[in-house]
Amino acid sequence: MRRCVGVLMVCTLLLSIGSTANATRTWNSGTTGSWNTATNWNGNTLPSTGETAQINNGTCNVDATPTNTPGIVLMGNGGATDVGVMNVSSSMSIYKSGSSELLCLLKTNGGSNETVNVKNGGSLRVGASGPANGGTFEARLVTGSAVTTGTAALNLQTGGTLDVDVLTKGLKSVTGATFNATGGTLVVRNMIYRFGAKSENAGYGFNQGTCTLEIGSIGTVAAIQVGNSTNADDYAVGTGGTINIDIASASSFDKILQYGNVANTANATLQIDLLGTYIPAVGTTFNVWSFSVTGKSGSGTFATVPAGWTATWIDTDSDTITDTLQLKYIPEPATMALFGLGLLAMRRNKK
């Protein structure tokens, strides 16, 4: 009898855990206030770990790290009069195992207008809850059928950090989703696609704006894709935007693989970070940006390049099309002299 009771208790517990993980906690319509104030949510209860947090109408301020980690945040349910805002000015993480939707604005058709602002001091991480989960995890701004009315805006502001596995606006036919970067740091660990302004195909491409793009997690070497096998995306870095390339060795450095069309880096800033104690040999080259197919091109002279480096779009297959962004380490003689003096000083100190 005791064994049966024990089994029953375990089953009840598992059922309750499962129901909690799949539950949805909704922001009280029209409310303006803090995420961590329980009375702002239905049932006067904060979203539990792994739950879906639904914000349709009102302003939710993430002004302190959420007490629990939500599995998904959904913005908007298609109501024609909904206006929902989430302001992130603290540290927030959104994790969901085995799901491709983690941050979703304007979930269904309708005229609602939903906005997420990552503000100064705010840090929003949207991704997998662990390396073993696998799959693609997205900051997906629009899902479902094409939305002809309503807007979904993700705004990255000066001093904010947005860290995502995948950044996409969902369907290529959707025109209401925008990524607006007026500063801050955008960390992309996997892929960007269907985000930006391009006249045909209703917005293929990505416009980085004036933020800093960090490839992979900060201070590590990684690779990202722009577009995928079915999306040939353009890429433009806004004037004042920055691309940060981390280099750990002659064979280990950040890379961008672009599916499809043109890339333009004109008037952007190039930042290069050497990791650890690595110093390239003079003349070492690093091909950091390439295209998945031939006939596609990159162009644009960076407004700022670190001293001792060149950054040039080159033709690697002799078809007169510049298809690779190549960095080259050519330090000035004065820089090399200072480097030599530094090594000499280190040797003397060791003695």
Segment 16-47, tens digit of pLDDT: 333 344 589 999 999 999 999 999 999 999 99
Question: Per-residue pLDDT averaged across 236-240, rounded?
Answer: 86
Q: Domain locations in the chain?
A: 22-350
| pLDDT tens for each residue of 305-336 | 999 999 999 999 888 899 999 999 999 875 55
pLDDT grade, residue 173 (50/70/90)? Answer: low
Question: Per-residue pLDDT averaged across 134-155, rounded?
Answer: 72
The pLDDT value recorded for residue 88 is 98
End-to-end CA distance of the chain: 77
The pLDDT value recorded for residue 81 is 78
Task: Produce one character per residue of 293-315: b if its CB has 16 or more CB atoms within 10 Å, e if not.
Answer: eeebbbebebbebbebbebebee
DSSP notation for 123-183: EEEEE-SSTTS-S--EEES--SSPP-S-EEEEEE-TT-EEEEEEEE-S-TT--SEEEEESS
**Two tokens, residue 99:** 């799901």
One-letter amino acid at 192 equals I
One-letter amino acid at 19 equals S
One-letter amino acid at 184 equals G
* 166, 191 Cβ separation under 8 angstroms: yes
| pLDDT tens for each residue of 81-128 | 789 999 999 999 998 776 677 888 876 556 788 899 999 999 999 987
pLDDT grade, residue 10 (50/70/90)? Answer: very low
Per the DSSP assignment, residues forming a β-bridge with 231 are 228
The pLDDT value recorded for residue 27 is 96
Residue 342 has pLDDT above 70, yes or no: no
Rounded distance between C-alpha atoms, residue 181 and residue 239, angstroms? 11
The pLDDT value recorded for residue 137 is 74
| 90-104, 129-143, 187-201, 243-257: range with lowest mean pLDDT | 129-143
Query: For residue 138, what are the contacts with CB-CB under 8 A and spacing of at least 6?
Result: 100, 101, 102, 103, 126, 164, 165, 166, 167, 168
Reduce the secondary structure of 276-334 to three states and give it as a string.
CCCCCCCCCEEEEEEECCCCCCEECCCCECCCCEEEEEECCCCCCCCCEEEEEECCCHH
The pLDDT value recorded for residue 273 is 98
* Nearest in space to 295 (alpha carbons), one of 321, 271, 274: 321
Mean of per-residue pLDDT scores for the chain: 83
Query: For residue 104, what are the contacts with CB-CB under 8 A and spacing of at least 6?
Result: 72, 73, 74, 75, 140, 141, 142, 143
Rounded distance between C-alpha atoms, residue 309 and residue 243, angstroms? 14
Higher pLDDT, 119 or 347: 119
Query: For residue 63, what are the contacts with CB-CB under 8 A and spacing of at least 6?
Result: 34, 35, 87, 89, 90
Rounded distance between C-alpha atoms, residue 265 and residue 303, angstroms? 9
Residue 269 has pLDDT above 80, yes or no: yes
pLDDT grade, residue 343 (50/70/90)? Answer: very low
